[in-house]
């Protein structure tokens, strides 16, 4: 990769999960990094706060797992589903001995990464710094222009690569006009409330509640004795809900059997926060002199709670790819194209699942029958939540067998539109009840109009960043 004048090898815009992991990964390999963020830490951001075991593994590799554990958040070891008077529970699978699931507020979690970055001799952290423009040379990005919020002066900084890790409304992605593909409109509007003094039910548990009107509630314990209540409404309800979201949340709680009792006597901590503009998308994650990590390059509805883990793993993978390119071990395009393909391969199964894409040639009724087992079969629920945690491989979750014309059978692959020629799918027997199909899918079952095909490099449409 071409050498450029400047004090830094990389400028990373955004110091939270994706940017922090990228900066620390580069620093561990000896590169000089300027890490910028518009916020001043400790700083909050909208989040599910959920850390699956692969996220904890990433924190371990980044050298901060000890600090994460010291926060004192309980290890959440079980998932419980409740729909009316029906319930089911299962242990949450884990990997490599890490806790299955934890919840830590972002004011605490993000600050751990930022403090780790400050301690690195090759990293300079600037908080309250707003990027206003990019520097270019011959079509390639070579730096940033901006300044500290509230200060009069503006500065320019140059580096061999600029990384945008500044969230789904990424300034860097907008300025480079990064192409988006496989865009799916928002599925749900989600709000978060916080409580203290919720009565535990035994082992720390991720509790999920559903009612017949289509809203979902999730309740789980976190650090500092604080419990998170996430409430998701169908996107069609967002305009109504946002007019008085506190009242809508209260009504949603009242409709969930057992939930109001769980919260009785608990102290509510401040007003609810939420969003309804949660578009699902992929962005082309690199170009001449720039790259994207975390939500800046890919975003999926937060209903599966995978945002933190996905951003960390994206940042780790990007740091490894940039190291190869910066050292000249691989051409820029080859190293970053491999990062792109790896990112999409990692997140594609759950993206398709979240966006309601069942295996090809499978009817809604058969798909619902299969997923309906989450309320009747604890072992199946364990496999299901293991899929959310990326512990259960997609091929182990999608147990359908494709029947070929000669009567032979093969294991079904994860959902792919290229499989639409399959003649039939045979599923294990299960009990079907259409009233809770959307509950176990975690999104209402409707058809989405997709903006583009999903193949990397497959003719992505350019949209202005938001």
How large is the angle between the packed helices 307-327 and 17-28, nearest 10 degrees?
30
Tokens at residue 78, please? 């079980």
State the distance between the two ends of the chain, measured CA to CA, in whole angstroms: 30
Average pLDDT over residues 136-149: 95
User: Mean pLDDT for the chain?
Assistant: 86
Query: How does DSSP classify residue 371?
Result: H
Tokens at residue 214, please? 């289509």
Mode of pairing for the β-strands spanning 424-426 and 401-403: antiparallel
Contacts of 302 (CB under 8 A, 6+ apart): 47, 48, 190, 278
Per-residue pLDDT tens digits for 337-346:
999 999 999 9
Asked, colleague to colleague, whether 8-49+105-184+279-352 and 188-275 share their fold, the answer is no
Edge-first strand order for the sheet with 424-426 is 409-411, 401-403, 424-426
pLDDT band at 438, cuts 50/70/90?
very low
- A 10 A CB-CB count for 87 gives 15
* Lowest model confidence (mean pLDDT) among 142-146, 324-328, 417-421: 417-421
- Whether the CB-CB separation of 49 and 200 falls below 8 Å is answered with no
Quick one: fold of 8-49+105-184+279-352? FAD/NAD(P)-binding domain (3.50.50)
Q: What is the pTM of this model?
A: 0.86
- Whether the CB-CB separation of 187 and 355 falls below 8 Å is answered with yes
pLDDT band at 174, cuts 50/70/90?
very high
DSSP letters, 236-276, are GGHHHHHHTHHHHHHHHHHHSTTHHHHHTTPEE-S--EEES
CA 217 to CA 210: how far, in whole Å? Answer: 7
Tokens at residue 62, please? 């980044």
The yes-or-no verdict on residue 413 having pLDDT over 50 is no
- A 10 A CB-CB count for 333 gives 12
> For 188-275, which CATH class?
alpha beta
Per-residue pLDDT tens digits for 3-54:
555 689 999 999 999 999 999 999 999 999 999 999 999 999 999 999 999 9
* Lowest model confidence (mean pLDDT) among 270-279, 288-297, 395-404, 428-437: 428-437
Domain map (residue ranges) of the chain: 8-49+105-184+279-352, 188-275, 364-441
Tokens at residue 208, please? 């999920």
Q: How big is the chain, counted in residues?
A: 466
Tokens at residue 134, please? 């990019």
Coil, helix or strand at residue 413: coil
pLDDT recorded at residue 366: 83
Phi first, then psi, for residue 89 (nearest 5°) are: -135, 155
Per-residue pLDDT tens digits for 196-251:
999 989 899 999 998 877 789 999 999 999 999 999 999 999 999 999 999 999 99
pLDDT recorded at residue 263: 96
- A 10 A CB-CB count for 174 gives 16
CA 114 to CA 359: how far, in whole Å? Answer: 41
Per cent of the chain over pLDDT 90 is 73
């Amino acid at each position: 990769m071409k050498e450029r004048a400047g004090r830094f090898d990389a400028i990373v815009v955004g110091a939270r999960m994706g940017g922090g992991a990228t900066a620390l990964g580069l620093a561990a390999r000896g590169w000089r990094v300027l890490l910028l963020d518009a916020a001043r830490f400790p700083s909050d951001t909208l989040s599910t706060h959920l850390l699956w075991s692969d996220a904890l593994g990433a924190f371990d590799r980044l050298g901060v797992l000890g600090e994460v554990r010291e926060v004192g958040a309980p290890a959440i070891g079980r998932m419980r589903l409740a729909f009316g008077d029906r319930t089911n529970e299962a242990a949450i699978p884990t990997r490599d001995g890490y806790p299955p699931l934890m919840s830590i507020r972002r004011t605490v979690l993000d600050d751990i990464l930022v403090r780790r970055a400050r301690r690195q001799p090759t990293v300079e952290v600037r908080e309250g710094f707003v990027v206003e423009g990019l520097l270019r040379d011959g079509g390639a990005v070579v730096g940033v222009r901006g300044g500290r919020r509230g200060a009069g002066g503006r500065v320019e900084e140059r580096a061999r690569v600029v990384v945008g890790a500044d969230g789904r409304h990424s300034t860097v992605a907008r300025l480079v006009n990064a192409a988006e593909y496989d865009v799916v409109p928002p599925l749900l509007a989600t709000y978060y409330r916080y409580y203290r003094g919720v009565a535990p039910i035994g082992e720390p548990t991720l509790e999920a509640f559903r009612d017949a009107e289509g809203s979902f509630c999730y309740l789980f314990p976190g650090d500092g004795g604080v419990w998170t209540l996430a409430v998701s409404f169908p996107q069609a309800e967002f305009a109504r809900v946002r007019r008085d979201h506190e009242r809508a949340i209260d009504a949603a709680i009242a409709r969930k059997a057992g939930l109001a009792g769980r919260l009785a006597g608990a102290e509510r901590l401040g007003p609810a926060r939420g969003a309804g503009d949660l578009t699902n998308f992929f962005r082309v994650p690199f170009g001449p002199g720039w790259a994207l990590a975390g939500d800046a390059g890919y975003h999926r509805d937060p209903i599966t709670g995978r945002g933190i883990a996905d951003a960390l793993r994206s940042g780790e993978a990007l740091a490894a790819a940039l190291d190869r390119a910066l050292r000249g071990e691989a051409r820029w395009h080859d190293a970053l194209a491999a990062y792109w393909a790896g990112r999409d391969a990692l997140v594609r199964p759950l993206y398709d699942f979240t966006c309601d894409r069942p295996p090809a040639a499978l009817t809604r009724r058969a798909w619902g029958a299969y997923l309906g087992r989450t309320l009747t079969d604890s072992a199946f629920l364990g496999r299901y939540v293991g899929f959310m945690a990326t512990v259960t491989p997609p091929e182990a979750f999608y147990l359908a067998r494709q029947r070929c014309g000669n009567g032979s059978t093969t294991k079904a692959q994860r959902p792919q539109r290229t499989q639409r020629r399959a003649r039939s799918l045979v599923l294990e027997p299960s009990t079907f009840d259409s009233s809770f199909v959307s509950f176990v899918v975690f999104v209402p079952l409707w058809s989405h109009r997709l903006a583009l095909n999903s193949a990397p490099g497959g003719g992505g449409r350019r949209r202005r960043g938001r």
